[in-house]
Amino acid sequence: MKTSALLLLILILAAPGLLSAAVFKTAEVTRVLNDVRVVQGESNSATAKIGDVITGSTAVATGVSSRAELKFPDQTLTRLGANTLFRLEEGTRDIDLKQGVLLLQVPKQLGGARVRTAAVTAAVTGTTILVEYDPNGYIKIIVIEGEIDLFMNDKPSNFTTIKAGDMIIMKPDAKVFPIPVQVDLKRLIKTSKLLNPDEFGPIGNDKQITDALNQQGNLKNKGELLNTAFMLPGSGTRVTFTNEVRRELLRFQDPPRDPNKNPPSDNNRNTGGSGSGSNPPTTPRPFIPGTTIISDSSSIVTNPHVTAYNSLVEVDVTSQGFYYSRTQDGPVGSAIFGNAPAPSPLDSLVASAGLWSAFDFERLIIVGNPAITSATGTRNLLLASRNGIDLQGLFPNTGAIGDNVVIPPAGSGDFNLANLDNFMLTSNTGPIAVTNTFEIFGDNQNILFQTFGSDGDITINSPSSFLGYTHINVPNGSFNVAASRDVLFSTAGIRAGTVNVNAKRDINLSNNTDIAARNNINLIANRSFTISSSSQLRTLGEVIDPLQVYIAARGGDLSVLDSDISADNVNLESTLNNIVLTNSNISADVIRARAMGPNGQLLINGTTFNAYSALKLYAEGSNGLVRFTGNSNINGPSATIAAKTVTIDSGVSVTVSNPTGLRVHTDTRNFSNNGGPNTFGAFTDGESPIDVPDNTFDSRPGY
């Protein structure tokens, strides 16, 4: 989990000596790194400066890659990590850290402090601690030197004491304390940014820290503490192997499968998956540690093995893959990543493909076009990553990525699917990101992108200078997306027979994004959908089958702003909220737009509808409203508008090309036609108001 997602609140128990200590009235800002703000009240903020004084009415907030240090009059020290919000509790010795990561150092003989999380309070007297808190995930507390008492907020009699080197990780709603584990203090002090003397200066308790290090060293010498192969990289709770151990794992990778042997069938193979299939695995599934970089010099054989650059050994390495079948092993998320089985919009497509050649990477970057051989394996390739996938085009991406991973010279920036039928990318945590001019191309292949984590955006993002570039190009195939968070396409080019996009949260198409398809475009956001900034959805090439465009926002607004939609049939739906159509053009044989929520509104401003057969604009809730807020045009033989209230704002004209084909079904006519209120605008034929017969909302035809 990224530091930006962390949330932390600490309070400390009244301990001997604490009650007599002076309260925290102020704290002085003594160090500022990057974006640090002083916050007054709920929203008023200013850039923090060294020397600023923080009181109980103010707070300090740090941004991404930012840190700060504050010092109290009694020399108690607080350092704040990135994405952190710090506030004093006025008149107490309480520290309230609303968000982020905190280091607290209380000098010996100078009283103590209280730090409070949602579930736990820590009493700190003459101690140095690190605390990290995410209310949706975990509380993590590490004692660097000294000891602290922890107790449950809802039951103070439930307490525990942890000492130097101890770490506790627990859920915010935990009812009992877990058994602490020891961390490597020497490594922690060396790698923690909040303990970096070059950034902050000495912490001021060198003797106590040296004593804690010596004590831990003595326990190691006696064999009472042993080094493990595990580490927690950075913030969060993700446990992984040390680089040394992962290098050893690479050395013992299984050799590639004999290319002269055919792949196993669905009923006679060994996947090592952990899904719910009927054939359980008999050997562990291969896992590829470190960061793998697939470039023009890489090769993938679907029998299955891959040869690509690996960050742990800094050379090309051949690694073993495995076979995966949705029917036998269960859903991708559970079979590969061990997640709880859950239905996915991609399940049927994954299952119908049959057997997949699959690879499980710790981290994956694709910069070029590998040689793909499928003659001795399957024609379905699945690349899975535990920590995100980057597909990077055009620019030579040399430099540091992640844990000092240096990318070799960039590849061609494309990926050829000629030897495949199906290609899938999936990430357990982190996004899938296509950037610059990276292109995945073929003809009739199916491309699938799927993420599972809370930060699982799927993005295609290019600078505006790459307008018109195609990133996904399978004109007779399909592009299928299932994002665990947002789908964000900016200056993106997509060409496919069918485009299916499903986002657990929002879909945003912007900056001239161009999606062209032959058969269907289905875009479903479980929250909000926005298409903006001259983006377009349109027919690809010659029309073979009628292009159907279906757009749905299930939990928020559906907005089309300064953009174009052109197809044979267009259907826009907002399940709970509004549809907003502004300065856009929508052209189709049949156009339908429906706001379905009880208070759903269809808001139209400066939009032209070219409906060659029929247009239906509906707000079907009990308080539904169709409202024209700016001059608009309705072109076509038939147009039906239905809502409890239909409004045309004052001074606004809605020009109708065929007045006899217009039907308005409403109980409240807020437009000036046929004796309606003159304070409102009107439907016109381009020159004068037209006759609009009275029809009740209940008399509307079916949608």
Angstrom distance (rounded) from CA 257 to CA 377:
10
Least confident of 90-99, 288-297, 497-506, 688-697: 90-99
Per the confidence metrics, is the pTM higher than 0.75?
A: no
Least confident of 11-15, 137-141, 473-477: 11-15
Helix (H) or strand (E) holding 90: none
- Tell me the pLDDT of the chain averaged across its residues: 84
Q: Give me the pLDDT at residue 7, please.
A: 28
Do 195 and 266 belong to one domain?
A: no
Do 559 and 481 belong to one domain?
A: yes
β-strands 380-392, 355-366 pairing? parallel
Is residue 689 included in any domain, yes or no?
no
Number of domains in the chain: 3
pLDDT in tens, 112-123: 777 777 778 777
pLDDT in tens, 24-58: 778 889 999 888 888 877 667 889 899 988 887 77
Q: Give me the pLDDT at residue 257, please.
A: 45
Angstrom distance (rounded) from CA 439 to CA 470:
6
Q: Give me the pLDDT at residue 327, please.
A: 93
Least confident of 146-155, 425-434, 493-502, 599-608: 146-155
In the listed set 231, 259, 288, which residue is the last one of a domain according to the structure?
231
Do 359 and 494 belong to one domain?
A: no
Amino acid of residue 158: N
Closest Cα to residue 420, out of 387, 393, 447? 447
Helix (H) or strand (E) holding 213: helix 206-221
Asked if 517 and 547 count as a contact pair (C-beta separation under 8 A), the reply is yes
Closest Cα to residue 185, out of 160, 222, 218? 218
pLDDT tops 90 at residue 265: no
CATH number of domain containing 155: 2.60.120.1440
Do 443 and 486 belong to one domain?
A: no
Mean pLDDT of all residues in 205-230 = 81
Secondary structure, 3-state, 648-660? ECCCCEEEECCHH
Highest-confidence segment of 61-65, 239-243, 502-506: 502-506
Is residue 85 included in any domain, yes or no?
yes
Is residue 658 included in any domain, yes or no?
no
Asked if 566 and 538 count as a contact pair (C-beta separation under 8 A), the reply is yes
Asked if 599 and 624 count as a contact pair (C-beta separation under 8 A), the reply is yes
Is residue 668 included in any domain, yes or no?
no
Do 203 and 247 belong to one domain?
A: no
Q: Give me the pLDDT at residue 398, please.
A: 38
The tokens for 186 are 């020497």
Instruction: Kindly provide the b/e burial profile for residues 612-641, where b requires at least 16 CB atoms within 10 angstroms of the residue's own CB.
Output: eebbbbbbbbeebbbbbbbbbbbbbebbbb
Q: How many CB atoms lie within 10 A of CB 49?
A: 10
Is residue 466 included in any domain, yes or no?
yes
The beta strands (E) that lie in 380-513 are given as: 380-392, 400-401, 405-406, 414-416, 422-435, 439-441, 446-451, 458-461, 472-483, 487-490, 493-503, 507-510
Torsion of CA 642, 643, 648, 654, to 10 degrees: -20
Amino acid of residue 393: G
- Residue 630 DSSP label: S
In the listed set 450, 472, 494, which residue is the last one of a domain according to the structure?
450
Angstrom distance (rounded) from CA 295 to CA 370:
6
Mean pLDDT of all residues in 363-385 = 95
Do 445 and 377 belong to one domain?
A: yes
Is residue 549 included in any domain, yes or no?
yes
Domain membership of residue 292 as a residue range = 242-450
Do 446 and 534 belong to one domain?
A: no
pLDDT tops 70 at residue 648: yes
The tokens for 424 are 């899938």
Q: Phi/psi of residue 63, each to 5°? A: -95, -165
Is residue 663 included in any domain, yes or no?
no
How many Cα atoms are found within 13 Å in the side-chain-facing hemisphere of 409?
A: 3
Do 219 and 263 belong to one domain?
A: no
Q: What percent of the chain has pLDDT over 90?
A: 52
Asked if 70 and 30 count as a contact pair (C-beta separation under 8 A), the reply is yes
Do 226 and 91 belong to one domain?
A: yes
Is residue 87 included in any domain, yes or no?
yes
Vertex 297 angle, CA 314 and 367, to 5°: 80
Do 153 and 19 belong to one domain?
A: yes
Q: Give me the pLDDT at residue 549, please.
A: 98
Vertex 328 angle, CA 327 and 329, to 5°: 105
Q: Give me the pLDDT at residue 454, please.
A: 92
Residue with tokens 């299955």: 304
Least confident of 107-116, 444-453, 578-587, 592-601: 107-116
Q: Give me the pLDDT at residue 283, please.
A: 46
In the listed set 208, 231, 254, which residue is the last one of a domain according to the structure?
231
pLDDT tops 90 at residue 230: no
Do 281 and 390 belong to one domain?
A: yes
User: Which one is predicted more confidently, 164 or 552?
Assistant: 552
pLDDT tops 90 at residue 357: yes
Angstrom distance (rounded) from CA 525 to CA 662:
31
Q: Give me the pLDDT at residue 234, please.
A: 63
Helix (H) or strand (E) holding 114: strand 112-116
Do 463 and 535 belong to one domain?
A: yes
